[in-house]
Amino acid sequence: MISKNLIFLLPILVLLLNQVYVNAVAQDYVPRNIDIERSPKNILVGSYVGGRSHLKPMLDVATILIERGHNVNIQEDVDYRSLARVMELTTAAYNVNYEKFKNAAKENNIDLFICDAFVNQPCIDVANNLNKPVVGFTSFMQLMEPKPYKSDPVFGCNISLENEPFFERFRCALVQPLQIAYAYRPFTRQLNDIRDQMNIKSVSGKELPQSLAPNVQEIGPVLSEEYPPLTPELSDFIDGHKRVLYVAFGTRFCATIENNNQILQSLVEVINNKIVDGVVWALSETSKDDFSPSLNFTDGTQVQTLSILNNIHPHIHVTKFAPQFAVLNHTNTKLFFSHGGAGSAHESLYTGTPMLILPFGGDQMGNAQRLESAGIALSVDKNALDVNDDILNKIDFLLKDEHIKKNSKRMKYLARINSNRKYRAADLIEYMLYSSGLDEYLDDGFLKEWIPAESRMGFIKANNLDVYGVLSIIILALIGIAFKLIKYTLNPLSDRKKSK
């Protein structure tokens, strides 16, 4: 009996001895050193156009760099309203802005540039001419890493060409790029002439676009760690309504008077139809003069617009500014009626708030299509806006559809995971700073571990077109030889038959 008990106890004793041994050894382990060699560097942040939505993500990453001991300088941005106006502004003011960036870089002994990649040639050119590393920021991935199966409404095509017929793909792949290149050729030529006169070596339009991965990395959504809270007035209003629709169209675009009237009418009717019970509208760029004096409703009644805009309506709160993230993050906010800007889209994704999008221009049409394809948004056309068919029905659908709710939760989870990637962006920027400090002059070998070989090989070699061309010649030659042999073999037989 004792021997049997010993047999059962022996394995337990062995396990205990092993555990004690492992613990004893573990106590002697040396912790892995995770410290990074870091010395303060000077960084210049530049955004030429786009305002808050373009500059804010760069500033959020810059904040992390400041917390790590680096010095960050910011170059002011410029207002704009249309893409053609942007091209005109950037060309006309190239010399002035180039000198601004150059002087700021020299005065502050800049070690690295962070440039908004959207029509911001002076920032990038100064970095190249001063032989400094440059980091580009953009929310327009097709600009940085074009793919043949992707496009954008700004080019007159849909964001995805996956399900498009052949002639549409032909138009988007060949015709549209040629038309755009021709339309902007005067600006490009003028800009390149200016750059040549200033001895700028990197002239746009002289190289074929190439895939830049892995040195192009997605880091969004980039959001601040803290945000302004709700004002007491807004907090009381939203707390008092369980189904709030938040309306805001950014700080860059304005709707027409006709569209403003239709939007305001739809807000009143969406409450009258009990689709929502409260509306918050941030009218940052719209004045009360941009509305008609009165509105005629479908039931025949007439309402004075000033009474609504002056917050006489108990369920509509109009304000010049609203802390957007705080509004969207409130549990009572159920839907966001937006222009579809990048910043608004990111905040909506992060808070899991479905969107009805009224795009005005720029990247907003593409953002609308992307959010629709993700199953969390619908869009309306500013040129064919209809109160009932467009706004009311789509708001009702977005609030009730189970797929919209499920997709919003899924994208909310993903956005919250991805929001931590801004620290990865700061890490990569610091790596560039450290790597650039090891060499006195940055040559083609700088960041070679990131730059894909295709950028150095050329289009033909990188895609093995020369290899496939030779293979095609060999195959055709073999087919030709086989054909000759067959013909040679058959000809004697036919000759013998004729002789008989």
DSSP secondary structure letters along 460-475: HHHTTHHHHHHHHHHH
**How far, in Å, CA of 428 to CA of 233, rounded?**
43
Residue 56 has what pLDDT? 80
Give the end-to-end CA distance of the chain in Å, rounded to a whole number: 107
Residue 175 has what pLDDT? 83
Name the 3-class secondary structure at 27: coil
Residue 20 has what pLDDT? 46
Residue entry with tokens 């169209």: 249
Residue 456 has what pLDDT? 75
Name the 3-class secondary structure at 164: coil
Residue 50: which region, alpha, beta or left (left: phi > 0; alpha: psi -120 to 50)?
left
Residue 119 has what pLDDT? 66
Residue 142 has what pLDDT? 64
Domains defined along the chain, listed by start:
232-418 (3.40.50.2000)
Please state the pTM of the whole predicted model: 0.70
Residue entry with tokens 């032989």: 131
Walk along the chain (500 residues) and give the pLDDT tens digit of each residue: 445 555 555 555 555 555 544 444 445 686 766 677 778 889 988 876 656 667 788 888 889 999 899 999 887 554 444 455 555 666 667 788 888 888 988 899 999 998 887 767 888 888 888 888 888 887 766 666 667 777 778 777 887 877 888 888 888 888 888 887 777 677 677 666 666 655 554 433 333 233 446 677 777 788 888 899 999 999 999 999 999 999 998 877 778 888 888 999 999 999 999 999 999 999 877 788 888 888 887 777 888 889 889 999 999 999 988 999 999 999 999 999 999 988 899 999 999 999 999 998 878 888 898 899 889 999 999 888 888 878 999 999 999 999 999 999 999 999 998 888 889 889 988 988 888 888 877 777 777 787 777 777 777 887 788 888 999 999 999 999 999 898 888 776 555 555 55
302-304 and 294-296 strand pairing:
antiparallel
What is each CA distance from 15 to 6, 21, 245, 311, 437, in whole angstroms?
14, 10, 63, 75, 53
